[in-house]
Amino acid sequence: MLTRVCFLTISKTVSVNTVRNITGMSKFDLPNRLKGNEKSVWVEYIQLALQYKPLNLGQGFPDYYAPENVTNALATVAKSDNPLLQQYTRGFGHPRLVNAIAKFYSKLINRDLDPNKEVLVTAGAYEALYSSLQGHTNLGDEWIVIEPFFDCYVPMIQTAGGIPRFIALKPKSTSGTVTSGDWVFDRKEMEGLFNEKTKGIVINTPHNPIGKIFTLDELQFIADLAKKWNVLVISDEVYEHIVYEPYKHIRMANLLHNLQVVHQNSVYTCTTPTQEAVAIGFELEMERLEQPDCYFRSLAMELLPKRDYMAKFLQEVGMVPTIPEGGYFMLANWSALENKVKLNEETDASKDYRFTKWMTKNVGLQGIPPTAFYGPEHKTLAEDYVRYCFIKKDENLKAAAKILKKWVSQ
Ligand SMILES: Cc1ncc(COP(=O)(O)O)c(C=O)c1O
């Protein structure tokens, strides 16, 4: 195996040089449909964190354990006396898991879902988005994308042959207490983006990075346009269970057949032991759905004090945070601190990249530059902001507050 890999590498190098000498380009260059998507903020910032070892509030994951019932179930499945739990399962989703999901969502959307026809288990939301966009895009199709957007939407649209059309959420105010509900889209501008080439619109609610929960009125406006132009709505709702009182998450419908075609010919099936363990987790949560200790309820309650703690310390150091209605990210405007940052020591084009890199290297705290979530024309709208993640241990949030306070007092 190893020998074969080496052989491939060597032969590729030789061919690349040979072909390049003649034509100026190589048949092994990145295919055109992938060009322009080489840069990834996650790849770059994980590398930066490994190198400088800051307190990392950049990446969106908890720095503590997943619920014990799920990790215990996974350990039990790994040692199960049923060897089939370690092998391929049904491609569109492990039977126990699709049954649990169908039962769970039937209750939430108040409609009976068929586990075998209306549920597809994917490798994360990434694959669900990929299958949705690959499965519904013809060359030249336009997709409306709301900025800031989770950064994979655009490469996924472009590699499927589509064209992203952008519209930015803008804050109605930028001082005092700003909440994610203050970030809105211009309705005339939105209306103007729909045309006969539009294939669909991607929305994300609760929103990353703003934490906005789209209102019924906003979603109705989008749904009416979608109906008028006969287009799809892809609704990315990965943070659906992290919603702070009194806000309510509103779900939109979805389609499945085309996604199944993409899934069956790419990932085919997600790992069986994980699906079995997640199914066991769902079954337990379903029994206690109305109780406060149900994970889908307790998660937001657990995160609320973390959200408020972060908002307070960011305000105390002079940043203007947007208080999120959902999710676990906080966008903060740092422009009042610009004179404390040596932006000219960094070389990136966008100020937020320079700010976050300088902070990582010199102050020891990492956030994510939100211009990564904008198309080329609107990046300037986000240059004064940073995204921090607050699904972190209290001790690490306290350490972040201490780092920032020490820095601003110097
Ligand atoms: C809005 C949004 N969509 C999709 C994803 C990808 O989710 P997953 O990790 O489940 O693939 C993320 C992850 O951060 C996200 O924030």
Q: Which residue has a Cα nearest atom 15 of ligand 1?
A: 150
pLDDT at 6: 31
How far apart, in Å, are the Cα atoms of 304 and each of 175, 241, 247? 22, 13, 13
Pocket perturbation via mutation, ligand 1, pick of 202, 208, 373, 391 by most ligand atoms within 8 A of CB: 208
Q: Which long-range contacts (CB under 8 A, 24 or more apart) does 398-405 make?
A: 399/55, 400/55, 400/57, 400/310, 400/313, 400/365, 401/309, 401/313, 401/316, 403/55, 403/363, 403/364, 403/365, 404/313, 404/314, 404/317, 404/363, 404/365, 405/313, 405/316, 405/317
Residue 96: name the closest of 276, 299, 265 by CA.
276
pLDDT at 175: 84
Count of C-beta atoms within a 10 Å radius of residue 207? 26
- 51 alpha carbon – ligand 1 mean position (Å): 25
Mean of pLDDT over the chain: 92
Domains recognised in the chain with CATH numbers: 41-66+295-409 (3.90.1150.10), 68-288 (3.40.640.10)
Q: Which residue has a Cα nearest atom 2 of ligand 1?
A: 150
Question: pLDDT tens digits, residue range 310-344?
Answer: 999 999 999 999 999 999 999 999 999 999 999 99
Given pLDDT bands bounded at 50, 70 and 90, which one contains residue 13? very low
More confident call, 12 vs 331:
331
Question: pLDDT tens digits, residue range 107-132?
Answer: 988 889 999 999 999 999 999 999 99
Choice among 82-86, 105-109, 347-351 with the minimum mean pLDDT? 105-109
User: Is the confidence at residue 15, as pLDDT, over 70?
Assistant: no
d(CA 261, CA 240): 26
- Closest ligand 1 atom to 126 CA: 11
Instruction: Please provide residue 391's backbone torsions phi and psi, each rounded to the nearest 5 degrees.
Output: -85, 65
Task: Assess whether the C-beta atom of 150 lies below 6 angstroms from ligand 1.
Answer: yes
Task: Assess whether the C-beta atom of 285 lies below 6 angstroms from ligand 1.
Answer: no
pTM of the model: 0.91
- 126 alpha carbon – ligand 1 mean position (Å): 6
User: Is the confidence at residue 43, as pLDDT, over 50?
Assistant: yes
User: Is the confidence at residue 4, as pLDDT, over 60?
Assistant: no
- 227 HSE (CA, 13 A, CB side): 7
User: Is the confidence at residue 19, as pLDDT, over 80?
Assistant: no
Question: pLDDT tens digits, residue range 168-216?
Answer: 999 998 888 999 999 999 999 999 999 999 999 999 999 999 999 999 9
